[in-house]
Amino acid sequence: MSKKILITGITGQVGSQLADYILENTQYDVVGMMRWQEPMDNLYHLTGRINKNDRISIYYADLNDSAAISRMLRDVRPEFISHLAAQSYPKTSFNSPIETLQTNIIGTANLLENIRQLKENDGYDPVVHVCSSSEVYGKAKPGVALAEDTAFHGASPYSISKIGTDYLGQFYGEAYGIRTFITRMGTHSGPRRSDVFFESTVAKQIAMIEAGLQDPIIKVGNLSSTRTFQDARDAVRAYFMLLEESEKGNIKCGDYFNIAGEEAFKLPEVIDLILSMSTRQDIKVVTDADRLRPIDADYQMFDNTKIRSTINWKPEIPVRQMFSDLLNHWRDEIAKGKIPLNR
């Protein structure tokens, strides 16, 4: 019987692309956890296989429902768990801080505590990937590469929630011997990136302008940030490699890793790069006050030394290709009649 990997948050960009990677490159079966009536946009290309139970299936549960999580783990008993589900948008977290903290901290605690109880009761011992975020480092000092031992500095309710997620993953590994590891992924993008994130809303707006659905004006928020970018399709490859290394016993329980791109851009440079791919030459950029955050992580550069010394991984997809694929994703969506909100 094939080994199973449970992916919480499978309907998101990263979750769906991890599922793609597993199905294309391994013999493992995928079980995706999702809530009832959750958008399926990122999974429609897999629904034929899901309906046939062809190495991928869906389990309906909610992180905030501990009983449902317990039932899922007992029913599925996956050898691997990649916990990606979260309220993941920093800007939204300012408007909904309690929901963000509840989902990201208590939801993670529900998952890990149920694993602990099963381990205590019958020896269940999965490998558990806990997805944190580079946002845990918050407002970093310009010019300083962020390593795993850099102090946390929350810059949003979202980043605070991920600090809690991060510490929970460490604690359950160190205290109970659960085979957890934590990843702190830097800014990532590519096809299926939600339009609530900077570079994706820029690409979406350009695609809408090209289709005649929006005036030739791009609305943006804070442009003072400097960030590295990486393609999420590179990151999920690292996720899987770490899962396998943990299974071999080569990663200590509760260990943690940065996974980040190595090409840095100021945000105006990102706009210029994506604009250079447009068929329109008359597009202007304006600041929209509604898109500004009360506080922002203005500088993020990373040190990937630890993960490179643990697995044979480095980013492979060039950032320019990533942005091109993102813009074409929005063009394709609009061509199919899936007109996005102008947000």
User: Residue 296 has what pLDDT?
Assistant: 56
pLDDT higher than threshold 70 for residue 292 = no
Q: What is the pLDDT of residues 204-255, one digit of tens each?
A: 999 999 999 999 999 998 787 888 999 999 999 999 999 999 999 999 999 9
239 part of a folded domain:
yes
34 part of a folded domain:
yes
Q: Among positive and negative, which fits the CA dihedral 231, 160, 244, 8?
A: negative
Percent of the chain with pLDDT strictly greater than 90? 83
Q: What is the pLDDT of residues 110-165, one digit of tens each?
A: 999 999 999 999 999 999 999 999 999 987 777 778 999 999 988 889 999 999 99
The model's confidence at residue 289, banded by pLDDT at 50, 70 and 90, is confident
- What size, in residues, is the chain? 343
User: Residue 263 has what pLDDT?
Assistant: 84
**Structural domain boundaries enclosing 13:** 4-189+231-259
CA 307 to chain centre: 17
340 part of a folded domain:
no
The model's confidence at residue 287, banded by pLDDT at 50, 70 and 90, is confident
Domain count, the chain: 1
Q: Bridge-partner residues for 285, per DSSP?
A: 218
pTM for this structure? 0.94
Residue 101 has a CB neighbour count (10 Å cut-off) of: 18
Contact predicate 35/60, CB 8 Å: yes
74 part of a folded domain:
yes
204 part of a folded domain:
no
pLDDT higher than threshold 60 for residue 297 = no
Specify the pairing of strand 188-189 against strand 226-231: parallel
The model's confidence at residue 20, banded by pLDDT at 50, 70 and 90, is very high
List the single range of 137-141, 260-264, 313-317 with lowest mean pLDDT: 137-141
Spatial separation of the C-alpha atoms in residues 144 and 160, rounded to whole Å: 21
Spatial separation of the C-alpha atoms in residues 216 and 275, rounded to whole Å: 11
224 part of a folded domain:
no
315 part of a folded domain:
no
Rounded alpha-carbon distances, angstroms, from residue 214 to 206, 208, 239: 9, 6, 38
CATH number of the domain enclosing 75: 3.40.50.720
User: Residue 295 has what pLDDT?
Assistant: 54
User: Residue 46 has what pLDDT?
Assistant: 98
User: Residue 196 has what pLDDT?
Assistant: 87
Q: What is the pLDDT of residues 70-102, one digit of tens each?
A: 999 999 999 999 999 999 887 789 999 999 999
Helices and strands, number each (H, E), in the chain:
12, 13
The model's confidence at residue 293, banded by pLDDT at 50, 70 and 90, is low
Q: Which amino acid is at 43?
A: L
The model's confidence at residue 294, banded by pLDDT at 50, 70 and 90, is low
299 part of a folded domain:
no
